[in-house]
Amino acid sequence: MPVSDFYARPVLEVARDLVGCEVSHGGAAGIIVETEAYHESEPACHAFVGVTPRTRVLFGPPGTAYVYRSYGIHALLNAVCEEEGVGAAVLIRALEPTAGLARMAERRGRSPNAPKPGDGPGAGAFGTGLCDGPGKLTQALGIGMGENATSLLDGPVRIAVREPLPVVTGRRIGITKAAELPWRFCAVGNPHVSRPWPRP
DNA sequence: GTATGGATCTTCT
DNA sequence: GAAGATCCATACA
């Protein structure tokens, strides 16, 4: 399957298959371990309101990066999916750092191996705390609004398609609308996810 | 360990 | 002018 067709599929499939792929930008890279799917048919998606100057990227060609600022502080990275004209995207929520950890730590302004509360036995992996959140990973990779609407195939931000990892599904995080949809995908047993798991 | 509030900016009403 | 797909420090139990 051509890489360009990878994103031209139902957003739930792409969200699942992106877990295990590698994102790289700004001299750093990491494996995707957590994603969330968003689709114009449900109100939590920015595309729900239709095409606006802001959301037109979501309706654009699949394989495009949609970057937006959340709470005035954090940039969040999405991969546009489905056919052009359909508003859908996958939010990248967490990475397992694989390259450029020193750059990440520098941009994040903290130790590359800072432990986080709740880390269990098995969770002492190098790099936890650097990319375990949607706002954190963009900061660690140096991604900002300047990367909005750029291609994930040949633009500054690249996603290398890899063999998908086993995932578990659950509810999305931090939203108030359509929060009950099980559209979050986490790599099984990975310590780099943003939260261990939502309660049932 | 859980709870709360502040930082700070783009977009739409 | 208000809301929002967040993170972190701080306060309290």
Q: Which nucleotide's C1' atom has the smallest distance to the CA of A130?
A: C7
- What does the pLDDT read at residue A78? 97
Question: Please, what is the average pLDDT of chain A?
Answer: 88
Share of chain A above pLDDT 90, in %: 76
Instruction: Please give the model's pTM, rounded to 2 decimal places.
Output: 0.91
> Residue A128: its pLDDT value, please?
75
Tokens 């792409």 map to which residue?
A: A14
Is pLDDT above 70 for A61? yes
User: Which residues 24-43 of chain A have a CB under 7 Å from nucleic chain C?
Assistant: 36, 38
Statement: the CB of A130 is under 7 Å from strand C: no
| Nearest nucleotide by C1' position to the A46 CA atom | C5
Determine how many CB atoms are found less than 10 A away from the CB of residue A10. 14
| Strand C nucleotides within 7 Å of a protein CB | 3-8
Number of Cβ within a 10 Å radius of residue A108: 17
Strand B near-CB residues (< 7 Å), A 31-90: 49, 52-55, 68-69, 71-73
Q: pLDDT class for A60, splitting at 50, 70, 90? A: very high
pLDDT tens, position by position, A105-118:
899 875 443 334 33
Strands (E), chain A: 22-25, 28-39, 65-70, 74-80, 88-99, 158-160, 167-170, 184-187
Distance CA A94, CA A173 (A): 12
Model confidence at A68: pLDDT above 90 = yes
For A141-196, how does the pLDDT look when each residue is reduced to its tens digit (9 = 90+)?
999 999 999 999 999 999 999 999 999 999 899 898 998 899 999 999 888 998 76
CB of A103 closer than 8 Å to CB of A31:
no
CA atoms within 13 A on the CB side of A165: 21
CA of A166 to C1' of B11 (A): 37
The SS3 of residue A106 is helix
pLDDT band at A129 (very low <50, low <70, confident <90, very high): confident
Distance (Å, rounded) from C-alpha A139 to C-alpha A33? 17
- Check whether residue A195 has its CB closer than 7 Å to nucleic acid strand B: no
pLDDT at A126: 66
Burial group, residue A42, by CB count within 10 angstroms (0-12, 13-18, 19+)? middle
